[in-house]
Structure formats: structure tokens, C-alpha cells
Amino acid sequence: MNDQPVFIHSLFRAGSTYLFKVFRRSPDGYWCYQEPLHEGPLAGIKDPELLLSFDVSAGKSLRHPTLTTGYYQELYGVFGAWRGVLTKEALFDDAFRDDGRDASIPFFRALIDAARGVPVIQECRTSWRIKGLKQALGGLHLYLWRDPWDQWWSCQINDYFDAAVMLIINARDHPRAVARFREEIGFQALEDEEISRQLAHLAAYPLSPSVRYQAFYLLWCLGLQEGRLFADLPLSVDGLSDDPTYQNEVMRRLETLGLGGLDLSDCRIPQTIYGAEDREFFLVQEEKVHEILIQLGWSREDLSGLLTLREKHAPRLRRWLPETEREIDLARDAERARSLAGRLFRARRRWAKYGAGTGTAAPGGICRTTRTASRP
């Protein structure tokens, strides 16, 4: 049996809470930390009882899997071990650090040492620092990924996720591809001692859908490439949902790594139908990101390998083509709903820019210019 710490890395809305639940319900004695690099634990340093406020009902609005105990039960249980170690920099500022000075390393080390079982750390802010964490802390590293179209649309459930993506783009010591993207959209660094103010600022003055998806997709590409290169096992949540053969293969791989007592048979990730206009929107934005990656050091083989892996585990629903009149109507209705969401967003963005009656653009710290998109 494995006695090393286990890391589950993913980007937001990839099904990581489900995988956390799989480990937590296992009879093999895993000690599971749910998203410890989060504003909740950071606030909990001053008042640890706040950790218990993230109870089993907290995830309903986010459509998370139902948990039998609170999100931060294990983190609360070892509060004394990490209260003086977690810092603001660990969450977003050091998102790309791989030089051993990542502020999350001492925090994770404290969690590992305090665990009352095999430690499992599920985190959505470490996808781009797997190499550095592995070098500093060892352990087994899983990388969970999802189809980017469905994942980004899932992020539109509220304002938080787009703002959090931009806080990662805002990180220090970012790679050249992020630097180029920041230049292209006129992004200005947003400095503040309080993450809550940074998130509120970014949510109050949202970017266009095209820029938001480009930012997300850039992080998606960088994260999946990091996972392919340095994780012990990349996992497609769509493959786990759609393909029993793939699911069985993953179960065998997990057992080979010494991770037993896990049951993935109930894995189900929502998948969406997209029409021609939707596909055009996504493909145009993705090509812009691909150009940045190629210009700044990715080989054609790197990009081709990533896209081949993506296509191999494309959602089964995506491979389905509507044939009957009723099925075509369903696809069209879904596309119209997304178009309406885009119009509502643009109306909100105009209000954010002019609603106060000042006639001035959003304040600095986000973008000098943004691209306009005709669709979400």
C-alpha cells in the first residue's frame, strides 16, 4: 500500500470534488484535504470556526457531489499544525513557481506531517507547479482534466471562477506565454494585500467572453501539459464517465501505484451539446492561444500531443450528431440559451463601465483594452 502523500491537481470545475469524495469514502484510511489553498482556510487562520461553516450544504449551489462531512473537517482537525504557515502568496501569487520557493511548500509539508492517515491533497491552484511540488515534497501526483468547453461553461455558474482565473494570470514569475497574453489584452498587475478585494475588483469589471475563454484555455493547456509531463497519472474525467474500459484501466493504474480501496463506478460529469456558432467561438479563441504557445517555445509535437489526448477523451455527447428534428431543436435551444447568456453578460459589462454615471472606463488593474466577442 502507498504511504506517500497523494496530490490531486486540477483546474476549477473539473470534477475534483468528486475525486476527493472517492478518496475520503475509501475504507483504506486516507486523510483528505479539500482545496486547502483557498480563501476559506486563509480567513480561518483568525477564526478556525469559519472552517466548519463550509458544511455539507455549501456545495449545493455549485452542484458539487454530496459530502457526508464538511469540506474542511480534516483541515480543522489539524489546525494547530498549519495556522502559522499558510500565507496569501501560496494561493495565487506563486501559482507558477517551480524553484523550491513556492509559498505553498511549507504549508503542504505541515499538512502532510499532521495527517492522521495517508494524506490526500486535492487542489485547484497547483496545476502549473506539479514539477516543483514533486521535487520538494515527493508523493504521488494525479492530474484530473476535463473537456475545456464544458469546463469553461461550468465556470460561468458565478463570477468567482473567471475572477480566479485572472488572479492566476496575475501571478508573479509567470511563464512567457502568460506574459504575452497579458501584453495582448493590456493586462495590468493587480496588487493588494487582500485576495477578497482582488477578486471583487475583477468580478466587478468583467472581461469580454473571448478574453475570458482565452485566459481559461491558456491555463488549461499549460496545466494539461504540466500534468502530462510530471504527474504520475493524468485522468480524464470525461473518459471516466463515458468509457468503462478506460475506467477499468485507471483503476488498475491506481492499484499499481498503491492506491487501493477506490471506487470510480459512479463517476458522471455533465456534458453539453454545442451548435455551429458555439464551436466557431471556441475554435477561434483556441487558435489564438495556440499561436501564442507556438511562438513562445512549444513545438508542433507538443501541441499535437495535447490535442490528440483531448480528442481521444472527447465527451461521448460531443461525438453524437443530431439526426432527428427534435434532436436538432434541442441543440439549437442550447445554443440560443448560451447566446442569451452572452447578451446578458454584455449588458452587465456596459453597466459596470457606465452605470455609475461617470462616463469613464473601469479603473486600472484589469485591462487597458479588451477584445469584443459576438458570442459567449
pLDDT tens, residue by residue, 188-212? 899 999 999 999 888 887 789 999 9
Decide if pLDDT at 7 tops 90. yes
Measured in whole angstroms, the distance separating CA 96 from the mean position of its chain's CA atoms is 14
Terminal Cα distance for the chain, rounded: 47
Decide if pLDDT at 297 tops 70. yes
Cα-based angle 333, 350, 196 (whole degrees, multiple of 5): 95
Decide if pLDDT at 359 tops 80. no
Higher pLDDT, 318 or 216: 216
Predicted structure pTM score: 0.86
CA 310/CA 148 separation, integer angstroms: 9
Lowest mean pLDDT across 78-87, 114-123, 321-330: 321-330
Write phi, then psi, for 96 (nearest 5 degrees).
-115, 10
Per-residue confidence at 318, pLDDT binned at 50, 70, 90?
A: confident
CA 256/CA 331 separation, integer angstroms: 42
Higher pLDDT, 221 or 272: 221
Q: Which of 15, 307, 258 is nearest to 145 (CA)?
A: 15
Q: Provide the 3-class DSSP secondary structure of residue 30.
A: strand
Lowest mean pLDDT across 61-70, 173-182, 245-254, 263-272: 61-70
pLDDT of residue 203: 83
Give the position of cell 475504507.
27
pLDDT of residue 368: 39
Decide if pLDDT at 340 tops 50. no
pLDDT of residue 58: 52
Per-residue confidence at 44, pLDDT binned at 50, 70, 90?
A: very high
Q: Model confidence over 123-171: pLDDT tens digits?
A: 999 999 999 999 999 999 999 999 999 999 999 998 899 999 999 999 9
- In this structure, the number of other CB atoms found within 10 A of the CB of residue 133 comes to 25
CA 125/CA 302 separation, integer angstroms: 23
CA 314/CA 170 separation, integer angstroms: 30
CA distances from 64 to 6, 236, 250 (A): 21, 18, 22
